[in-house]
């Protein structure tokens, strides 16, 4: 059950356009096999996608799917620096309803 955190830094003035590019692919990603969570967040200067996939195979398939290629084609011109991608494993502790995604 890999969990991913992808941190994108749009160029100044490109935040809304970058958020729209993510938003456009989210329904398709939600329909991909093994997608359990693909949830967009933002603050003043970052977009942060928090993801959970059923297993390494479905995550790998997501990486080859049309939605991500479509996003990449738009995002290249909008970002100020390379995406920070964290591929993580859960460390479940405490209350199961609060200690894991």
Token reading at 79: 């970002």
| 53 binds a second copy, rule: CB under 8 A | no
For a second copy, give the closer residue by CB, 54 or 73: 54
* 67 Cβ contact partners less than 8 Å away, ≥ 6 residues apart: 25, 28, 29, 32
Residue 36 touching a second copy (CB under 8 A): yes
93 near a second copy, judged by CB under 8 A: yes
Tokens 């591929």 map to which residue? 87
Q: Which of 39, 54, 73, 80 binds a second copy (CB under 8 A)?
A: 39
C-alpha dist (Å) from residue 47 to 1, 22, 56, 81: 23, 9, 24, 12
Does residue 88 touch a second copy according to CB under 8 A?
yes
Picking from 1, 5, 69, 8, the residue whose alpha carbon sits closest to that of residue 35 is 1
Q: How far is the CB of 60 from a second copy (least distance, A)?
A: 17
The footprint of a second copy (CB under 8 A) covers: 3, 5, 7, 19, 22-23, 26-27, 29-30, 35-43, 46, 48, 50, 86-95, 98-101
């Amino acid at each position: 059950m890999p969990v991913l955190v992808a941190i994108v830094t749009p160029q100044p003035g490109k935040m809304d356009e970058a958020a729209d590019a993510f938003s456009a692919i989210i329904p398709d990603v939600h329909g991909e096999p093994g997608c359990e969570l693909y949830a967009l967040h933002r603050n003043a200067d970052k977009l942060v996608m928090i993801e959970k996939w059923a297993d390494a195979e479905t995550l790998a398939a997501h990486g080859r799917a049309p939605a991500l290629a479509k996003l990449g084609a738009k995002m290249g011109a909008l970002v100020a620096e390379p995406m920070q991608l964290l591929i993580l494993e859960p460390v479940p502790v405490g209350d199961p309803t609060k200690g894991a995604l």
